[in-house]
């Protein structure tokens, strides 16, 4: 159970309270350090999946823990950013992104109960969405220059559009199961 990929995933979960603590420090370097911690967590997200496949160390525990760590990490960052920016321009995309994660998690659970988990597997659109989302969040946390914040908002809105699109894609893949007759 405790192989390298699962250890990286658990490490990502441990980074969340560290990220939150650093983000709220009253220091000039806090935003950079918090962005670095979020970046490090994002890198472990890439590495754990790659290593699980490369080292043939995929486990049911890892398949459960990895998406949980991703969703908690992104949700925590979006919540603190909503509080920090206090703007509808941040709140609306954050609600769409977090709402989509809840919908898709419930959909995957329901499809697994139907024995059709493979019909809602991760898509390429979801991977592009994740990359745009992570880059946007890092820039919005760091907020080094005004141009960085502007670019990060653009990436956030691209990620939000892709988020909504991937949700529609997943729901369309499952639509036949929604309307199937029992018995």
d(CA 53, CA 87): 40
Q: Is residue 42 a contact partner of residue 159, using CB atoms and an 8 Å limit?
A: no
d(CA 155, CA 165): 15
d(CA 78, CA 6): 24
Residue 175's pLDDT is 86
- Mean pLDDT check: name the lowest of 96-105, 118-127, 149-158: 118-127
* DSSP secondary structure letter of residue 179: T
Residue 182's pLDDT is 63
For domain 4-180, is the CATH number 1.20.120.1760? yes
Q: Does the pLDDT at position 155 exceed 90? A: yes
* DSSP secondary structure letter of residue 87: S
Q: Does the pLDDT at position 183 exceed 60? A: no
d(CA 95, CA 90): 9
Contacts of 137 (CB under 8 A, 6+ apart): 38, 74, 77, 78, 81, 152, 156
**Predicted confidence (pLDDT) per residue in 11-45, tens digit:** 999 999 999 999 999 999 999 999 999 999 999 99
Predicted TM-score (pTM) of the model is 0.91
């Amino acid at each position: 159970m405790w192989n390298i990929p699962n250890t990286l995933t658990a490490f990502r979960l441990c980074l969340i309270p560290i990220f939150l603590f650093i983000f709220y420090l009253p220091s000039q370097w806090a935003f950079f350090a918090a962005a670095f911690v979020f970046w490090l967590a994002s890198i472990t997200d890439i590495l754990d999946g790659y290593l699980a496949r490369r080292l043939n160390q995929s486990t049911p525990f890892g398949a459960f823990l990895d998406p949980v760590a991703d969703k908690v990490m992104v949700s925590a960052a979006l919540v603190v950013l909503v509080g920090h920016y206090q703007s509808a321009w941040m709140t609306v995309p954050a609600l769409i992104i977090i709402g989509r994660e809840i919908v898709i998690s419930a959909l995957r659970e329901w499809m697994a109960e139907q024995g059709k988990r493979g019909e809602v597997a991760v898509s390429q659109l979801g991977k592009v969405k994740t990359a745009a989302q992570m880059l946007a969040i890092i820039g919005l946390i760091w907020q080094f220059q005004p141009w960085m914040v502007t670019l990060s908002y653009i990436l956030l809105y691209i990620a939000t559009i892709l988020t909504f699109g991937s949700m529609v894609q997943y729901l369309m893949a499952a639509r036949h199961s929604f309307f199937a007759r029992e018995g």
